[in-house]
Structure 1
């Protein structure tokens, strides 16, 4: 769910100034986008990557071949960032020509609220991501690699989810169907999964279960499918502000990368290290392409990400959590999304009325948002902390996302040796 109002087929529902514009013959050249907001994105990204490379090349003793693969992946991911930044304006012109655009609801009543904003630009990010991830196989995997089958299965699931997300953007799929779509997209991964189906029982519970390790069999694969469904839909419903969808993905991806490096540095098991390296290979291009999208989607947004991006980002994070065998940690990184989902359940399951857009009320006189009674974290923050601008609200939610990730790292440190 992006902050938008899709064009309606009823002329009475479209502002007069927009109707008059649409009545004219289409322009041969669509209006150009505002330049990307690098002044915000690049300093934050530079600070993170300096920390990341310090951990990889200085802090931890990592095998040279593994360091080489991470460095190649990072270089290719930077190329993905540059390519995505260049491709987004091109794709924006094409989607505008096909009338795939929306109006920013949180700017309704102002001149910005009548601007046609290109929709579904997540398709560009998904395509660039897939190209880079596929090309990376040439530098890291051999034809007989044990990881190659699962790597390609992961990419197949992500590709399937991008397709279904774009179909949703174009056809406006009902909400009930959205809950099912990720289940189909996860099938390639579930069918190709050849890893263990066991879980380590927390030490305080071993005496009640009677075993330290429990094999769940097909139940474990069912759990993986449900995790994929949750991750894709949780990002999709924790939305509605310029920069929120891409921003939360950037924060979670950064936390996942730090977690993977820390686990590689703390382990001497080659198989365990490879599992977390596998996660790095898939998350690094996700982070850089999401940064490229965020540079256009940050307030005031020049493009909307669409359900294509939210589904793609959720599936990519679910895949790395499943194949990296740290789904519990991933759910802790998703703490705001978990809270938002639980808070949204009464409306999602029609226990109480659920409007199409559960967004705050925008006051065009003051430019401030006011929280409604709808069950979303966005509205809850406004009710708890008072009215504020859309940009400030997004920043508060992203800070909460970052604090949740820090809480996860703290819990892992405190509970190490006692919980598992």
Structure 2
């Protein structure tokens, strides 16, 4: 098993490292450049024109690696994880295409993206519950308590899926921030998937849980490889193509390992980014005042005088801590 995990991470890493130098010049020649907000940190303006939609680089690496190293690549679990990841990536690609290629600054309208995201969330939950025997119970973090929510499961978990997927997207605002943070979260889910596979009952009602670990390993390898091109100063941005795909990969792992609520902890950095935006909007709408200098919250620290690389390193550290806490929160749920 350990050999397959190393192969999955290594193959995704190699494919990403090979594709980067091939695809980045293509994106640049097609003028798929990023437009930078002029109301953000002024030093970001020099990033204008940097190729975006680079998420395709690691997405190819992750998918090919996962399918090639899986014990059973055609299993419904693996097909579901790959399909949901690609589905969210497709929503991001369409959004990027409209903004970058068609030069429509807003891209997809919010309701259009939400319809697609909730549809994919429902597909993920329906397949997991009715075809993979996942059930409608949720594990309460740090406890052995499992609550069967019945039909309410679809309402609650669809919100968790959509919020956390968009939270990863919000985190993609600094060079290397989203990719590095997802790498640490992916390591956490690699451990969780192995725990689910070794548990032998309860959570491990699904077949081929080890392939979930393979998928998580490929996710780690792909994001690590992308950092070669995405750390400061970035040669390419992942765009919504990449950030939404990463969110889709994480929520897929969460649902299949019965750790949807744990995802809020293990992906706590993403959750904090999303909460900062929500707080800012509510405060401004109700009082006319802003709590933070700018949101998502990583921009707050930038405008406070932190260098971009310092913000990224501190947030990566936070992502690692959240991953460790998430594993600790998951262990008692195994009963």
* TM-score when normalising by structure 1: 0.66
1:228 aligns with 2:228: no
Q: Post-superposition shift, 1:281? A: 1.9
1:162 aligns with 2:92: no
Q: Which of 387, 403, 407 is matched with 2:321 structurally?
A: 403
1:253 aligns with 2:173: no
Rounded Cα–Cα distance in structure 2 between residues aligned with 1:182 and 1:174: 12
Task: Indicate how the Cα distance of structure 1 residues 218 and 245 shifts in structure 2: closer, same or farther if over 3 A, else same.
Answer: same
**Alpha-carbon contact 1:275-1:324 (below 8 Å) kept:** no
Rounded Cα–Cα distance in structure 1 between residues aligned with 2:33 and 2:65: 27
Q: Post-superposition shift, 1:116? A: 3.1
Rounded Cα–Cα distance in structure 2 between residues aligned with 1:161 and 1:122: 12
Q: Which of 10, 15, 18 is matched with 1:83 structurally?
A: 15
1:141 alignment partner in structure 2: 72
1:378 alignment partner in structure 2: 298
Q: Which of 255, 270, 285 is matched with 1:322 structurally?
A: 255
Question: Counterparts of 1:103-182 in structure 2 under 5 Å?
Answer: 108=42, 113=46, 116-137=49-70, 140-141=71-72, 148-171=75-98, 172-182=107-117
Task: Indicate how the Cα distance of structure 1 residues 186 and 213 shifts in structure 2: closer, same or farther if over 3 A, else same.
Answer: closer
Q: Post-superposition shift, 1:190? A: 3.2
Is the partner of 2:137 in helix, strand or coil? strand
Q: Post-superposition shift, 1:141? A: 2.2
Q: Post-superposition shift, 1:200? A: 6.1
**Alpha-carbon contact 1:244-1:398 (below 8 Å) kept:** yes
Q: Which has the larger radius of gyration?
A: 1
1:281 aligns with 2:214: yes
Q: Post-superposition shift, 1:382? A: 5.0
Structure number having the greater helix percentage: 2
Deviations 1:63-106 (A, max 9, x none): xxxx2xx4224314312211111111211122222221126667
**Alpha-carbon contact 2:184-2:319 (below 8 Å) kept:** yes
Rounded Cα–Cα distance in structure 1 between residues aligned with 2:48 and 2:171: 24
2:134 alignment partner in structure 1: 196
Task: Indicate how the Cα distance of structure 1 residues 214 and 387 shifts in structure 2: closer, same or farther if over 3 A, else same.
Answer: closer
Question: Counterparts of 1:238-387 in structure 2 under 5 Å?
Answer: 238-265=171-198, 267-269=199-201, 272=204, 276-347=209-280, 352=285, 373-382=293-302, 386-387=304-305
Task: Indicate how the Cα distance of structure 1 residues 275 and 226 shifts in structure 2: closer, same or farther if over 3 A, else same.
Answer: farther
Can you give the 5+ residue segments of structure 2 that lack an aligned partner in the other structure? 99-106
